[in-house]
Amino acid sequence: MKILTFTTLYPNHVQKRHGIFVEQRLRKFLQAGDAELKVIAPVPWFPFKSDKFGAYAKYAQVARKEQSYGIDIEHPRYLVIPKIGMFLTPLLLAISAYPVMKKMLKEGDDFDLIDTHYYYPDGVAAAILGTWLKKPVVITARGSDITFIPKIPLAKKMILWAADKAAASITVSNALRQELIALGSDEDKIHTLRNGVDLDFFRPKDRQALRQLKGIKGRCLLSVGNLIELKGHHLIIEAMLQLPDDQLLIAGGGELRQSLSKQVNELQLQERVFFLGTLTHEELVDIYNIADILILASSREGWPNVLLESMACGTPVIATNVWGMPEIVQQAEAGVLIDERSADAIAAGVKELSDNAPSRASTRQYAEGFSWQATINLLRALFEKVSAKK
């Protein structure tokens, strides 16, 4: 089977963690054997590579072609137009990728289907490309592409158009499937295939040695994610006022770093709250092992991998009871769900979970029920079915 993945969410040698969840699924699919995978991952066009241009310069630094884990990746450039560009982006993405795909076909490098991730703009662009090239398209919905973007009427129309054109849709949680149906998509074409967790990579380690190395004593809380409002880091920081003996580690980078640091200073929590910045996956394994509890206070999440990664390392979680999170945290061994997204609820959740803490071995055992194998088997069956219909 030959699969062409089209997505703007994919790691590159400059942005190594960008869209890593897409790469993980492809790697597991490739490891299962009997498949050839290629990736077209467009990046915004920018003319200057100098670091003085900030984040935009990183796009210019991305190579046109690269290979990772045996997968060939191409990075065509697409035009980004400020303000009005949101509604043009699907077409601009399709235009950027079309010559690459057309060249592949002309040179005999055919593919059975287009696999794409995130409904807008990527899914809409892939549906356009599928129409132009007469290739079936499978679109994976991952979160805010279904829970937030359809609130914009024109975007919603384009998403539903793409869903209609697609041979199949995948949602990473059942909550997203129900929402896509509610938007007006054909439920018979929607399949829930959750993300798995790499149990060999995310695993228990010598916890006491790691804590001693980092100078961690007492109960240690952890918050992982981009420093943006929807992740709720500010609420966890506020909850620390009710947890005077605890330490909090925050892993991630983003636009709210300065305001969160200011909040820590104003609450006089500098001795108990620490910002770790953006970590590699290897570094995250150590931090998961060090922590006693991971807290995810998001307002919306499709299927947050951090929950499973933490549990695979033996660390139970506290998560808001929204979207895909209750599909992950189903038993006491996993952790605790909180119904209210507030500092008070977070503090109460920490106390509840600490008073009834599962063994780290039982938390790890629970996570083992979320391996990639079942998902990959179902994904292969779906791809084979779609390919057979073309």
Same domain (yes/no): 42, 152: yes
Task: Say how far apart CA 60 and CA 49 lie, in whole Å.
Answer: 5
The pLDDT of residue 206: 96
Q: Check whether 331 has a pLDDT greater than 90.
A: yes
β-sheet bridge partners, residue 77: 43
The pLDDT of residue 390: 65
Token pair for 235: 């609420």
**pLDDT, mean of residues 275-282:** 92
Q: Is residue 16 part of a domain?
A: yes
**pLDDT, mean of residues 118-134:** 98
In the chain, the number of structural domains is 2
Same domain (yes/no): 191, 44: yes
Same domain (yes/no): 14, 147: yes
**pLDDT, mean of residues 194-204:** 94
pLDDT digits (tens, 9 = 90+) for 203-240: 999 999 999 998 999 999 999 999 999 999 999 999 99
The CATH number of the domain holding residue 290 is 3.40.50.2000
Q: Is residue 8 part of a domain?
A: yes
The pLDDT of residue 81: 85
Same domain (yes/no): 379, 318: no
Same domain (yes/no): 9, 53: yes
Percent of the chain with pLDDT over 90: 86
Q: Is residue 264 part of a domain?
A: yes
Same domain (yes/no): 185, 216: no
Same domain (yes/no): 12, 138: yes
pLDDT digits (tens, 9 = 90+) for 346-355: 999 999 999 9
Same domain (yes/no): 119, 251: no
pLDDT band at residue 320 under the 50/70/90 scheme = very high
Q: Is residue 381 part of a domain?
A: yes
Same domain (yes/no): 175, 214: no
Q: Is residue 276 part of a domain?
A: yes
Same domain (yes/no): 227, 185: no
pLDDT digits (tens, 9 = 90+) for 139-162: 999 999 999 999 999 999 999 999
Same domain (yes/no): 56, 14: yes
With contact defined as beta carbons under 8 Å apart, do 363 and 315 qualify?
yes
**pLDDT, mean of residues 168-179:** 96
Which of 194, 132, 197, 184 lies closest to 158 in space, CA to CA? 184
**pTM (predicted TM-score):** 0.86
Burial degree of 214 (CB within 10 A; 0-12, 13-18, 19+): middle
Same domain (yes/no): 363, 278: yes
User: Other C-beta atoms within 10 Å of 81: how many?
Assistant: 11
Find the domain containing 253 and state its range. Answer: 207-370
Q: Is residue 202 part of a domain?
A: no
Q: Is residue 268 part of a domain?
A: yes
